[in-house]
Amino acid sequence: MEKALRSKKAICFFILPGLILFLLIVAIPIIQSADYSLLKWNGISEGTFVGLDNYIEMFKDPVFLLSLKNSLLLAAASVLIQMPISMLLALVLVNGVKGENFFRNAFFIPVIISSTVIANLWMKIYHPSYGLLNVFFEWLGHPEWKQNWLGSSATVLVACFIPMIWKDIGYNMLLFYSAAKSISSDIIEAAKIDGASKLQISTKIIMPIIIPMIEAVTIFCIVGSLKSFDMIFILTGGGPMHASSVLSLMMYNEIFSSNHYGYASAVAIAIIIICLLFTFGVQFIFKKIMGKYRSDS
C-alpha cells in the first residue's frame, strides 16, 4: 500500500477518472459558457462576436441588478438566520435531550422531501382564499392581516425565503451535530468536572473545535443561495414584476424564454465568479479566526 502511495503512476491512475469527470462535467462547460458569453447568439443561428458587450449590458440591466440583490439577501438570510437555528438545534441535541434520535430525524425530514412537493405545500399555506396563514389570521380576529403573499411585491420575497430557509435547516443541523459528536467525550467530561455549564461547554469548547465545519456550512449556505432556482421557480416564477427573481432563475428565463444564449451565458459566468469570490472571502475570514483562536489558546 505504501509503495502504491509513493508511486506517481499509481497516484495518476487513481486521480485520472475523477479528473476526466471534472473536465467533462465542470471545466469544459464553464469554458464553453465563457466562450458563448462573448457572443450575441440565439442558440440556433450563427453567433456574432460582441466581446464584453453582454457583461456591460448585464450591469445596466435592472432585472439583473434586482436578481443579484435578491440572491445576496437570500445568502445573508441563510447565514444570519438559517445557520444560527441549525447550530442551536445541533447543540441542544448534542447536550442530550430525551428522544434525541427522534428529533434529529424529524428535523432532517424536510431535507429529503422534494423541493417541488415543499413548494406546492407552501403555495397552499400562502393561498389568498383558503391558505392556512390567512385562515389563521382570520381565526385570530385580524382579517386585515390577510395578504396575497405570493402576489404582492411587498411580501413575495420573504414568503419565498421562509420555505427555502426552513427546508435546509435540518441538513446544516446534521452537519453541526456530526461535527460536535466527533469531539472526544474526555474533553466534555473534563469540562463538566471543572464545573462548566452546558452553555459554557457549547460556546467555549464545542463551537471553537467545530470552526472548520462552520466554515464549510457558511460556504454551502452562500453558494447554495446564489444558485437557488427550483423553489422560487415553482412558487412565483420570479414574479410579480421580477420582485422575487434570483440569478439562476433570470439565467433560465433568458435562455428558454428570450433565447438570449450569449447574455444568459454571461449571467452564468457572473454567478460562478460571485460564488468563487464569496468562497475565497469566507476562507480568508475563517483563516483569520482560526489564527486568532490558536494564538489565544
Task: Quick: pLDDT tens for 163-188.
Answer: 999 999 999 999 999 999 998 888 88
Residue 195: pLDDT above 90? no
Which one has a higher pLDDT value, 7 or 41?
41
Domain contains 287: yes
Q: What is the DSSP letter of 134?
A: H
Helix 156-181 to helix 83-94 angle (10° resolution) is: 30
Band (pLDDT 50/70/90 cuts) for residue 297 is low
Band (pLDDT 50/70/90 cuts) for residue 5 is low
Band (pLDDT 50/70/90 cuts) for residue 272 is very high
| Residues 127, 159 contacting (CB under 8 angstroms) | no
Domain contains 3: no
Domain contains 224: yes
Question: What average pLDDT does range 18-43 have in this prediction?
Answer: 90
pTM of the model: 0.90
pLDDT number for residue 109: 92
| Residues 267, 254 contacting (CB under 8 angstroms) | yes
**Residue 95 is part of which domain span?**
62-296
Domain contains 50: no
Domain contains 267: yes
List of E strands, the chain: 39-40, 48-49
pLDDT number for residue 3: 57
Cell numbers of 116, please?
A: 417541488
Question: What average pLDDT does range 285-297 have in this prediction?
Answer: 78
Band (pLDDT 50/70/90 cuts) for residue 43 is confident
Domain contains 56: no
Domain tally, the chain:
1
3-state DSSP assignment of residue 155 = coil
Distances (CA, A) of 257 to 57, 204, 217, 286: 18, 53, 34, 41
d(CA 130, CA 155): 18
Residue 1: pLDDT above 60? no
Of 88-102, 107-121, 269-283, give the lowest mean pLDDT range.
88-102
Alpha carbons within 13 angstroms on the beta-carbon side of residue 46 total: 2
Task: Quick: pLDDT tens for 206-241.
Answer: 998 999 999 999 999 999 999 899 999 999 999 889
Return the percentage of the chain with pLDDT > 70, whole number. Answer: 97
pLDDT number for residue 99: 82
d(CA 279, CA 292): 20
d(CA 283, CA 89): 25
Band (pLDDT 50/70/90 cuts) for residue 289 is confident
3-state DSSP assignment of residue 141 = coil
CATH code of the domain containing 247: 1.10.3720.10
Domain contains 175: yes
Task: Quick: pLDDT tens for 97-127.
Answer: 788 888 888 999 999 999 999 999 999 999 9
Helix 211-226 to helix 156-181 angle (10° resolution) is: 150
| Residues 214, 28 contacting (CB under 8 angstroms) | no
pLDDT number for residue 130: 87
Domain contains 5: no
Task: Quick: pLDDT tens for 137-172.
Answer: 989 888 888 889 999 899 999 999 999 999 999 999
Band (pLDDT 50/70/90 cuts) for residue 291 is confident
What's the whole-number average pLDDT of the chain?
90
pLDDT number for residue 113: 92
| Residues 226, 75 contacting (CB under 8 angstroms) | yes
